[in-house]
Amino acid sequence: MSAQQPCRLLTEERRREITNLLDRQGRVTVAELKKVFGVSAVTARSDLDALHANGVLVRSHGGGIKPIVTGPDYPLKIRETIHHDEKQRIARAAVELIRPFQTVIIGSGTTCAELATQLRRATPEHLTIITYALNVALRLADVPNVSLVMIGGILRQVSNAFVGPQAESMMGALHADHCFLGTVGIDPDVGLTTLDILEAQLNTRMLRAARESTVLADATKFGHRSLAVIGDSSRLQRLITDTGAPEEALDAFRARGIEVIVT
């Protein structure tokens, strides 16, 4: 027992130092931890996993970042690395719902961008895609079977998406078969929420414009209630998430008649 104590203390001390490094920089990488602390990649990943489990950081590809809170958004380039495997699985499940000749609305955010990437690889025939997100539009702009409708307005740089009255007016004149939305927070009672009021208002129009709506949300989005409400759960037909999502919340959505797909 006593022989193991120094090793345990060393581990705890190292993780405190990693936390301090994270506070100063906002992010850390496995390669950086190997260099700074002289540990193996396996040990560095173990430290990151332990800190993630304690809520100190959010694991991303090759490292970790400070947890997202209800404040300024992390830039897309950082958010794209967070829970990337889960987002890929969610996006692949979403693609399977899209049929040839449909008109599909795709929202903003990294999971919606991953949906656009997956659509490039397996594109149903003669799709019309409506989006207000630049990263989604750029991934689909040169796909032969896709007609792209780009919603314009005021550019929200942190999400690379157009919002505002002009965007809402244009969306109000359109109709779609299916709407796929990402979200900052999802709660069975409150519904979908996001950080930006203008984007929330546009997302509400998108839900109204579509015959059916599916929200794409990884497990980290559950239980969060952000600033602006997009819509309550009655506006949704379907939820696609990953295996880390809390079962109690999923059951609550099912009880409201919403189809839940877990990838």
Domain ranges in the chain? 5-67, 84-262
pTM of the model: 0.73
- pLDDT digit string, tens, across residues 129-150: 999 999 999 999 999 989 999 9
What kind of architecture, by CATH, is found in domain 5-67? Orthogonal Bundle (1.10)
- pLDDT digit string, tens, across residues 234-255: 989 999 999 999 999 999 999 9
Band of residue 77 on the pLDDT scale cut at 50, 70, 90:
low
**Which string of b and e fits 35-59 if b means at least 16 CB within 10 Å?**
eebebeeebbbebbeebeeeebbbb
- pLDDT digit string, tens, across residues 49-60: 888 877 778 787
Mean pLDDT throughout 29-47?
92
Cα–Cα distance for residue pair 63/176, rounded to 1 Å: 39
With a pLDDT cut of 70, the percent of the chain lying above it is 90
Q: Which of 3-7, 95-99, 173-177 has the lowest mean pLDDT?
A: 3-7
Question: What is the reported pLDDT for 27?
Answer: 85
Mean pLDDT throughout 188-209?
93
CATH of domain 84-262: 3.40.50.1360
Nearest residue to 239 (alpha-carbon basis) of 197, 195, 192, 206: 192
CA 97 to chain centre: 19
Contacts of 196 (CB under 8 A, 6+ apart): 156, 159, 163, 227, 228
